[in-house]
Structure 1
Amino acid sequence: MNFKSHCQLKIFLFFIVLITHSALSKDDKVAFKPMIPKLTVADPLDVVSNFVRRERAQQEPMTIKILALRAQFVRDSLKTTTGDGHFDLSDESDYKIDGPPHNRTYFEHQLLALHNYFYTVSKGQLGLEYQVYPPAEDAAYQMPNDMVYYSGEEDEEKQKQRWAELLRDAIEAAKADNPGFANYDAFIIFHAGVGNDFDFDFNETPFDIQSAFIDFATLQETLGQNETNYRGIPAGDNFYIQEGIILPEQQSQKGIDLGLLGTATLLMGSQLGMPSLFNTQTGRPGIGMWGLMDQGSFNFYGLIPAHPCAWMKLYMGWEEAVTVRTLDQAIIGTANTKSAPHLFKVPITASEYFLLENRQEDWNGDGMTFGRDEYGKRAQFDSLGTIAIEEGLRVITRVDEYDYGLPGSGILVWHIDENVIRDNLQSNTINDDPAHRGVDLVECDGPQDIGQQYAMFTPGYGTESGDYWDPFWDGNISHKYINDERPVSLTPYSIPTSNAHGRAVTHIEFTNFSGKDTLMTCRIGNTWHQPGFPQYTGQKFGEGTLNWIRLENNKNAVVAVALNGDIYGWTQDGSKIIDNDHTAHVTDYSGKTTVYPLALLASVGDSVFLPPVNMGFVDDDDNMDFAIVDKSGVMTIWSPADKDGDGQADLLQRLDLGERITSLPTPYGIGTESGYFYKLSAGEDGEFENLQKIKISDEPLFGVHQWTFVSETGTLTNLHVFTTVHGNVYAYDKDFQMIWQSKAFGGGTKFYPLSVTAFGDEKAQNPDPFTPLIIVSNDGQITFLDSEGHIVRKGISITPGEIKSAPGLGDVDGDGMPELLLSSESALYAFEINTGVSTLNFPLPVDNAATRSFLSSPLCFSNSSKNESFTFAATTGGFVLCFDAHGKLSADFPLSAGAPVTSSPLLLEKDAGSDEALLFVLADDGFLYAWNIDYATPAGGWQRFGGGYENNFNVHQYQDSETVVSADIMPKKRVFCYPNPAENGRTIIRYTLNEHVDHVSIRIYDIAGELVVQLNDGGVSQGDHEVEWDVSSIQSGAYIARVEAQAKSGHVVEFIKIAVVK
């Protein structure tokens, strides 16, 4: 027996669905089958006491008024429908459940059962009042057509039309009794016959009417299709009915007893605004028997509908969750417990989280539960799935334990993604994607079985709607079996994992689960949690918006400037740099409003497209000051202090240059649209006065850069380098006299100048090495220039060429020398600066499905003492990636920011001199995230957009003997060729030099020892080198390459085998 599915249904048109995988035979009897890090110290009792206070202050109950109309049809004797079109008013029946007479009192009792259910599961916050018409006990409104007509005759489009007509015809007939339609909130049509709501092996009555909730969109599509301003079904006195529920008089059919309550609760849930949690396109389960808005509505064959799931109760406002990120002991009570919280929310991002609840199928542990009718007659349900019914039982109007039909007990862990919910709520499809549901149950036994389709006799058969092993508790042997007998837990390393969607690592750990009970406990940990984050801004940000400053207490802090000119600042514990009362009120998709603190420092009152710059110590205090440049050409400098007590950063100076600034701001100057450079120099009072205005070019300036290098004579040299938007490069000395001019490769509009200032020592084998100036165009072209502006090697380009984010520098492979880092739409590239060849293991392809567009500007840092290097990049898919020195994605990554990330991340020492690092990421939903990553300090690495806080795109490299990978001149393991065998008429011979050498020769011999070719153009500088061998005219066979490097300290020879196959 499966859900009925209708793939073309419109918004909020819901249909009844069933719970079991196999088809239900009419010979089946009513019998339920047997169901086989780091911690922030918090006192669990404080959490409990806070919950109790909230419980006492719960909101006033809401009352929904229902008008129920009884409708009968033109009599028929067809075998394709159940009954003859009129209500069964007899006094005797073979039905054990919901038996006749189906008169006015019968339907009042059905509505009382509906009220008792919702009043119970909402903790008294929702009640139903109702009237049943016609007023006469045995009367019904006569419809003009027979049952077959209103069934739609198994035609989907016709069905919607006929159901709408049934709603309209019943309302029209009821007008004669003047029930006062405007006094009611909801309308139910109880029609004669049985609902066509279950898939049997063979349906003998295909023209029974399917139960449905009909929304206004469906009425517009059907009854109102020819009316421009359709308002609904007219009910008199200028009142229009826009929604309605269609239900049968019973669900039991000959040979099988089913309860009407399950159908009624599901559709009333839809009426109340609860979205469906099954797959509305296929009818397959989404949460199965674990909640009302899926197959839980039909637990114990529709007699004991389950409680709504944890998320649904939050959504309806019937519960509040206790939000924690770490807790040594979370005490979780069942829904009827008054002494402990019922729900715990553990955030992953601002929109994704875990939700924990305690569900017990038999909370009092007596092995049974009871249902009662209004006359005191009882039905007894036991754990074996049998029902004992007292003679004379009528409609069961109340049940002691509505979760008694659950398949098991324990802590349910729900994985909630509010982005999916928000995007699909209106279309009622939040659980239609089995691979990424909005409300998903993490099944403790490992595989996600709910919603699957397993063949009989296969391992997963019978688990497709939820099973005994889905909850978490300490004795879940199914979980232990799949996890090698380890204790029950949910961590990044368990099965299932605590990963976010997209396989992002959350570092959240749920451990120490207790046994099943009305009060259960577990431990909530997060090994990378940084207290105080995330923080909300509500703004959009540019690429290099994050920067850091140091406060007078020697603590590092974070600043960010939004595109609208608002400036925010936080300390490392998430508190505001400047204490003020700024807040933001945010209303979510469910109508709930959250108040967030806003760490607003100041605002420039204009749009800002350039990153902030740390100006160092401008005034006389111990705070690092920062500057913002707006689009009109005003540079404003602030101190992160509030000496005047106005709740904002103190304004130090405002410089109006009178023209648009086009370069990145730096502490030493900025470039303009007209090609001028304004040199910034502070006077004795700390203010910038008498700005030196220097004409550089007739083109807008883009790059402003200070290049420091050691010349061949050992002299420390400083040059001012400027690039224009068309790729012209200018170098000036300290007196701003032009030394040379050059032209970079590329046809882009952004030309980034980058450099490495390398300092050696007497112990290093190659002290004071020179590294070229690098110019990167945003169309993917790379230029290397020497100290005189000459191009030192042929241009390099990447494919695809477009670079949407700034380049970076960092020692990605741990060889002690930085590499050039570039990120494109589909890959992360690294190039050796001294040689221009691609770094070993690069480029790193990045799945576009994960990034969805492109990568941010990359970050990098290395730890020579541990021989570790890490490269970071964020994606517009909302993920943060980290690769090790071998080009492999770190096991601790990706991280999830929950929304696209277009701003470069920030790596920061936790405190000055600390060996811990913090990773900050701004997401496009306006939240700033922080992780206390378990990596070495990033001090000295490429920490942010532009490298350091000055936006200079320069990194200082202090080379010493410890940073050399090998004592060998040319390590054997770093001499090889690729591809091997050669492909497309070529192969590349690659080798690594750990020091500058005098000469490298490559001789290639055939198998007979005859010299085939000698390649003498091998590079001699320290780093990786590649030489291409053209084999287009070489015969197939095996060859030996002899690679020799000669240096003052000696020479080394290595041999490699090469295959040529044609």
Structure 2
Amino acid sequence: MKLNAKFFALFLGVFSLMSLAHAADTLEVFVLRVQFKKESPDNSLTTGTGVFGSDTGTYNLDPSESRGNKYYWQKHLNFASAYYKAASGGELIIKDSILPTVYTLDKQMIDYNRTQKMKGEKTAEYDSARSCDYLRFVYDAVMAAHKSENGSPFNIPLSKNPNTKRAFMIAHAGSSSLLDGGSMGTKGANTPGDFFDVYISRNEWVFLPDTLPGVVIAKDSVNNGIVLKGAAVDTIKSMMVVSETASQDGLNWGINGIVVNQIGRELGLPNTFDDVKGTSRLGYFDIMDFAGYNAGNGFFPVLPAAWERAYMGWSNVKEVRPTAGHPVTVDIAAAGSGLGTEIVKVPLSASEYILIENRQRSWNKDGSVKVYLGEAKQNNDTTFKSILVDSLYTVFEDSICNDGKCKRNEKKASGLVLGVNSFDAGLPASGIAVWKVNDWYLRESLRYGSANQWGGEFNRDHQFGLTLVESDNVLSIGKMFKNAIGEDTQDYGSGADLLPHLRYAKDKKFDTVKTILPTGYANTATTQGGYTGFKISVEIPKDARVEKTANAFMGDSVINFAAPVIRVTISVDDGSIENSKFPKNVGLASAVRGAVFVNYEDESTGKAVVFASEDGTLQALNALGDTLFVSDTSVVQKQVSQKNKTVDVPLYRLGPSYGPLVGLAGDGERVYSLHKKHLVRTSFNSGVPMQDVMDLQKSVSGAPSIQSALVGPIVASSHLFFASDSGFWTVNLTDEMTRSFTSTENIAHPQDMALCKVDKQDYFAVVVGEDGKIFMRKFSLENKADAKPSFSKQNAGIAQVNASKNEKFHVACTDLNRDGTVEAVMLGSRGTVASFKLGEGGKQSAEWTHVYKRGASGTSGLYDENSGIAFGDLNGDAYPEIVFLGDNLVYALDRFGLPIDGFPVTINRGTPIYGFHSDPLVVDVTGDKIPEILVPSSDGLVYAYMGKGKRVSDRFPIAAGGFEIIDSVSQIAPMSIFVTDAVKNSKGPELYAFHRNRVTAFRLDKAADGAEKAASAWSLPAAGNERTGFFDASKLGDVDAVKSQDEISEFFIFPNPVRGGEAKVRMGLGAKPRSIKLELYDITGLCVFKKDIPDGVAGMNQANLDLHNLGSDIYTARLKVKFESGKTKQKLYRVGVVR
């Protein structure tokens, strides 16, 4: 049977359905019975004549002759009351009040629901007009009741009990159009004038003209509604609307489901189907999906899924955190049974988690259920049918079909379905349901009354609030396909979506499915594909009842194993840290590079992690995420719950905040936090944090004042360094901490700094400032806290990067060429990269400068990308590579500033990732001792790339943060990552990730021993806790001596073909050239382009080409190189140009 879901959704899509009421202990439902002016003659576009019981169809259940009387509605509300008593565990009572008067309107139904567009009317105008007409019907019904000569139902006094709320339901004559066409679906639809059942929230009143008496339309929608001056209920802000029947065209269909669903909306439950696209998202497994409330032909709606019951506060949730070697096993009781734990939660990331529940069609060992029946009369007479749940369809089906032969169902019930002793009887099968919950998406979508609303082209169909993990690995729920009569229909789920189950067919044997793995179509990964490592396993109970059902989508049979209690084990692979408390909410958003590790011995860890928030608050945890001391304060955070619950998140502060953080560094024992006006040293004496504070605005003899510290700190040789608006400062880390000043001459507004070691006790301080100006000052320093640096008597080295206006820079240093001379590498926020040899005595020239796609130089629209540099030997050639991020790309440059083979590599070929603030790391994660690049992204994932540019797919990307769509680039939340060996007796280093207000940690168990300390690695931002920004290339292996050869090893022009006239030429030369010439020839042999390429080097070379003057054609490029030896070599290349 196909529900008319498409038309249902198109109508609902006009309304942004949003819940109004708060959950209450008691909900009074006042039912207004409303009928229309009688049609004479009968209008064929509607079912019946507009008055109750006028449908000529004959139906055993919900018979037409009883639908207008009070007891028909009272007993349907009694069903809802019993349903919510079971769903809420007795926490909610539904009280009905069926008003005695039947209100008759002055218009016919068709006057409120025209079925054709007017001449020249656009579809959008037509849809809007129908919505306005529908709201006018609601308005007229309210006013008819309010002005009734029998008294207004809105004048009945409200309960004085604050836990009792009142709601109103319009029960109108006519049939719901959801089933128009009956068993023939839309092909048999013949009454388009019938109403849909729609919940009206405060947002929908905008479809009423505010010129009508009592209509209030406010911009914030809080007070929208119909104002009834002087009434006890002075404003109608919401309204449930239900048809007298859902039966149509010979198909007997109940209204129990829609009544329960509408009350759910009033209570605060959101739609869980996609009410924009009109597709099911949770199928038969949830009451707030249209498939769920139409389960059992609408007579047997299913229970709310796990998230809804938790959201409403009706079910307790047991949260578990398995770690490596410590799986968690829970006996999960059937939903609503009260036999024990009913919902288990497993955190996946900062914003996503899994819920596991046990859904059982029958709680009885024999699989039977009791269906309670009655009549629409003033009595309590009840009969019941005890029936096997596999045969529940015999209660409501007209015919029973076997092997293609159908006969009349003699067992069909009659009267009204008053209840059932298991409200999940309408499920397709019994078993364990595993749900993915996207907390971020729910926070965004719940304001519109929806959990799974289509989020537009950007989110498409991969971002939803709630998703059932379909354990058969066939993701079919909500997918469209053709039914037997050629109509579009959907899959609403089957027993193959639950654990455990066994599919079988005549000619094929299947294994029993008892697990959901970290990978595959049914997996425990996050929405963005982040790896979590969790495995969910189900044990088949020895006394399980076997259920045989059908797989509606695949067409084969399914066996399920039903039991009131099923044992579930949640385990995690070796990527987790044994006994860890991660992921952990730390209350405050973390700062970029805002964590260091200090020695802290306890039973299981050797280090503590100290981390800072953007406001400068310092906190500390041990390496397992456990507390070191008692919290002294907390922050309040809102939870996603119907009652807007809050939670107190404790802060484990090291002391008071001294203002916004500039930077954080450590020496292994102490932590140094630099704030704009203070420098704070924190040490742990017997585990107790102690702080020494230097007031930076306190004057120092012979030195200028400090308005604000801007970059740093750097720790080296018992000293600390930072730069302010006034210059470069050295702090002697004695007990009292004293500081001295060195001018940075004309460097204004320092942006970054590095401390570059050039000899045993000799350093270069490098400060980069505004407009790409660079300050280099050499000094000697003894490793004694009271020693002062001895600065060179030569003038400082000064240099400037040829950069974009207002471009900001990071700096780091290493011996790129392995010639014993250290270079400073500058990375600009808009793509400029330059190398300078460290020197003194005035102006220094760049070794090379290149510009790559980054920030304003890229395509993302973001003006600046501010992440830093990493160095590492990615290919084992003993030369350090330069690694940085930008514009959805990972770059790895060689010593000449040119991309190495395989780079740049695109991070995400779907939604681009940009706005990097935090640093990439270079560390081995695969165990081959060759480091990979770790990329921390703002989408909550950590990616890994090999030295050839290939993405690591085994256990990557890691779900290390939380994904959220942002409205502007200013909302980008950077992730900072750190790799260190912090846990005792743990194989492999640990990766710590800070994103928003969460910290997560993983064990890189596949990494080589000591990977974080390898000479080729850059495992912490700015080269370590000390934040020197210096990579010691001398610790790499010996550079293979390459004999100089007069040859062109590589030559090409890219992109090929050239579009837009801009291109680059790249060439590899075996020896230093004396001259380089490039010529392009057309098809006739005429030279049409010449260029001399200066400053060539032995190695890779690159130059920009301006080919705007060339027409579309294929050209032959000739590279002619004259080497220092006097020999000349040539090479040809074919390149296309497209105008």
Separation in 2, partners of 1:92, 1:784 = 86
Aligned to 1:454, which of 471, 475, 481?
Answer: 481
> Does the C-alpha gap of structure 1 residues 749 and 147 become closer, same or farther in structure 2, counting only changes over 3 Å?
closer
Q: Does 1:503 align with 2:520?
A: no
**Aligned-pair CA distance for 1:261:** 0.7
Greater CA drift, 144-153 or 350-359: 144-153
> Does the C-alpha gap of structure 1 residues 494 and 476 become closer, same or farther in structure 2, counting only changes over 3 Å?
farther
Residue in 2 that maps onto 1:212: 198
Residue in 1 that maps onto 2:425: 404
Q: Does 1:146 align with 2:108?
A: yes
Does the CA-based 8 Å contact 2:496-2:502 persist in structure 1? Answer: no
Specify the code of the residue in structure 1 equivalent to 2:135. K
Greater CA drift, 596-605 or 433-442: 596-605
Does the CA-based 8 Å contact 1:673-1:699 persist in structure 2? Answer: no
Q: Does 1:793 align with 2:801?
A: no
Specify the code of the residue in structure 1 equivalent to 2:79. A
The aligned runs of 1:376-395 (5 Å cut-off) are 376-379=382-385, 380=387, 383-384=390-391, 385-387=393-395, 393-395=414-416
**Aligned-pair CA distance for 1:945:** 3.0
**Aligned-pair CA distance for 1:512:** 5.2
Residue in 1 that maps onto 2:370: 370
Q: Deviations over 1:623-656 (max 9, x none)?
A: 711222222x32122213477x7xx543365544
Aligned to 1:931, which of 1002, 1010, 1030?
Answer: 1002
Does the CA-based 8 Å contact 1:823-1:856 persist in structure 2? Answer: no
Q: Deviations over 1:854-907 (max 9, x none)?
A: 224333334598242211222223332221111122112223311454143222
Separation in 1, partners of 2:582, 2:1025 = 22
Specify the code of the residue in structure 2 equivalent to 1:522. V
5+ residue gaps, structure 1: 15-59, 617-622, 759-765, 1007-1011, 1048-1052
Q: Deviations over 1:337-361 (max 9, x none)?
A: 4444211111112321111112233
Q: Does 1:260 align with 2:255?
A: yes
Aligned length: 973
Separation in 1, partners of 2:927, 2:1120 = 34
Does the CA-based 8 Å contact 2:869-2:920 persist in structure 1? Answer: no
> Does the C-alpha gap of structure 1 residues 145 and 170 become closer, same or farther in structure 2, counting only changes over 3 Å?
farther
**Aligned-pair CA distance for 1:561:** 1.8
Aligned to 1:435, which of 437, 462, 466?
Answer: 462
Specify the code of the residue in structure 2 equivalent to 1:210. F
**Aligned-pair CA distance for 1:271:** 1.2
Partner SS state of residue 613, structure 1? strand
5+ residue gaps, structure 2: 117-129, 160-164, 182-186, 217-222, 375-380, 396-408, 455-460, 541-559, 699-705, 780-789, 858-863, 964-971, 1081-1086
**Aligned-pair CA distance for 1:559:** 1.9
**Aligned-pair CA distance for 1:92:** 12
Partner SS state of residue 148, structure 2? helix
Separation in 1, partners of 2:1048, 2:361 = 63
Residue in 2 that maps onto 1:704: 753
> Does the C-alpha gap of structure 1 residues 310 and 552 become closer, same or farther in structure 2, counting only changes over 3 Å?
closer
> Does the C-alpha gap of structure 1 residues 517 and 819 become closer, same or farther in structure 2, counting only changes over 3 Å?
same
The aligned runs of 1:75-114 (5 Å cut-off) are 75-77=38-40, 78-80=42-44, 81-88=46-53, 95-98=60-63, 100-102=65-67, 103-114=69-80
Specify the code of the residue in structure 2 equivalent to 1:596. V
Residue in 2 that maps onto 1:784: 835
Specify the code of the residue in structure 2 equivalent to 1:2. N
Q: Deviations over 1:269-292 (max 9, x none)?
A: 111111111121232212121110
Separation in 1, partners of 2:1115, 2:17 = 70
> Does the C-alpha gap of structure 1 residues 152 and 115 become closer, same or farther in structure 2, counting only changes over 3 Å?
farther
Separation in 1, partners of 2:1043, 2:534 = 44
Q: Does 1:550 align with 2:599?
A: yes
Aligned to 1:811, which of 850, 867, 873?
Answer: 873
Does the CA-based 8 Å contact 1:1017-1:1027 persist in structure 2? Answer: no
Residue in 1 that maps onto 2:28: 65
Does the CA-based 8 Å contact 2:495-2:501 persist in structure 1? Answer: no
Q: Does 1:305 align with 2:301?
A: yes
Specify the code of the residue in structure 1 equivalent to 2:358. N
Separation in 2, partners of 1:1036, 1:216 = 65
> Does the C-alpha gap of structure 1 residues 812 and 487 become closer, same or farther in structure 2, counting only changes over 3 Å?
farther
> Does the C-alpha gap of structure 1 residues 399 and 1055 become closer, same or farther in structure 2, counting only changes over 3 Å?
farther
Aligned to 1:189, which of 165, 170, 180?
Answer: 170
Partner SS state of residue 12, structure 1? coil
> Does the C-alpha gap of structure 1 residues 906 and 524 become closer, same or farther in structure 2, counting only changes over 3 Å?
same
Q: Deviations over 1:953-1006 (max 9, x none)?
A: 111234454886x9999999986756698968988565598xxx8899999999
TM-score by length of 1: 0.81
Separation in 2, partners of 1:867, 1:728 = 38
Partner SS state of residue 795, structure 1? strand
Does the CA-based 8 Å contact 2:833-2:897 persist in structure 1? Answer: no
TM-score by length of 2: 0.76
Q: Does 1:750 align with 2:716?
A: no
Separation in 2, partners of 1:669, 1:499 = 43
Q: Does 1:12 align with 2:12?
A: no
Q: Deviations over 1:526-548 (max 9, x none)?
A: 23234211222332343222222
Report sequence identity in percent: 18
> Does the C-alpha gap of structure 1 residues 708 and 919 become closer, same or farther in structure 2, counting only changes over 3 Å?
same
> Does the C-alpha gap of structure 1 residues 552 and 124 become closer, same or farther in structure 2, counting only changes over 3 Å?
closer
Separation in 2, partners of 1:885, 1:1054 = 31
Separation in 2, partners of 1:13, 1:695 = 60
**Aligned-pair CA distance for 1:115:** 0.8
Separation in 2, partners of 1:779, 1:571 = 38
The aligned runs of 1:156-305 (5 Å cut-off) are 156-173=131-148, 176=151, 180=156, 182-183=158-159, 185-200=166-181, 201-219=187-205, 221-222=207-208, 224=210, 232-234=226-228, 236-240=230-234, 241-253=236-248, 255-294=250-289, 295-305=291-301
Partner SS state of residue 118, structure 1? helix
Q: Does 1:845 align with 2:906?
A: yes
Does the CA-based 8 Å contact 1:533-1:574 persist in structure 2? Answer: yes
Does the CA-based 8 Å contact 2:200-2:238 persist in structure 1? Answer: yes
**Aligned-pair CA distance for 1:839:** 1.9
**Aligned-pair CA distance for 1:780:** 2.4
**Aligned-pair CA distance for 1:1039:** 11
Q: Deviations over 1:188-243 (max 9, x none)?
A: 22233333332423333333333222223334542645655766342754532322
Specify the code of the residue in structure 2 equivalent to 1:466. G
Partner SS state of residue 516, structure 2? coil
Separation in 1, partners of 2:473, 2:744 = 67
Q: Does 1:524 align with 2:570?
A: yes
Q: Deviations over 1:450-483 (max 9, x none)?
A: 22211246999876221231112153569x999x
Specify the code of the residue in structure 2 equivalent to 1:575. D
**Aligned-pair CA distance for 1:265:** 1.0
Separation in 1, partners of 2:767, 2:88 = 67
Residue in 1 that maps onto 2:680: 636
Separation in 2, partners of 1:740, 1:718 = 13
> Does the C-alpha gap of structure 1 residues 825 and 795 become closer, same or farther in structure 2, counting only changes over 3 Å?
same
Separation in 2, partners of 1:90, 1:151 = 18
Separation in 2, partners of 1:1042, 1:180 = 97
Partner SS state of residue 573, structure 1? coil
Does the CA-based 8 Å contact 2:257-2:300 persist in structure 1? Answer: yes
Greater CA drift, 79-88 or 528-537: 79-88
Partner SS state of residue 625, structure 2? coil
**Aligned-pair CA distance for 1:581:** 4.2
Residue in 2 that maps onto 1:564: 615
Separation in 2, partners of 1:197, 1:264 = 14
The aligned runs of 1:715-794 (5 Å cut-off) are 717-734=762-779, 735-736=790-791, 737=793, 738-746=795-803, 747-748=805-806, 750-756=808-814, 769-788=820-839, 790-791=844-845, 793-794=847-848
Q: Deviations over 1:389-408 (max 9, x none)?
A: 77994322111222222122
Does the CA-based 8 Å contact 1:474-1:513 persist in structure 2? Answer: no
Aligned to 2:962, which of 877, 898, 901?
Answer: 898
> Does the C-alpha gap of structure 1 residues 285 and 670 become closer, same or farther in structure 2, counting only changes over 3 Å?
same
Q: Deviations over 1:809-831 (max 9, x none)?
A: 22233433221222222322222
Does the CA-based 8 Å contact 2:585-2:649 persist in structure 1? Answer: yes
**Aligned-pair CA distance for 1:798:** 1.3
Specify the code of the residue in structure 2 equivalent to 1:821. V
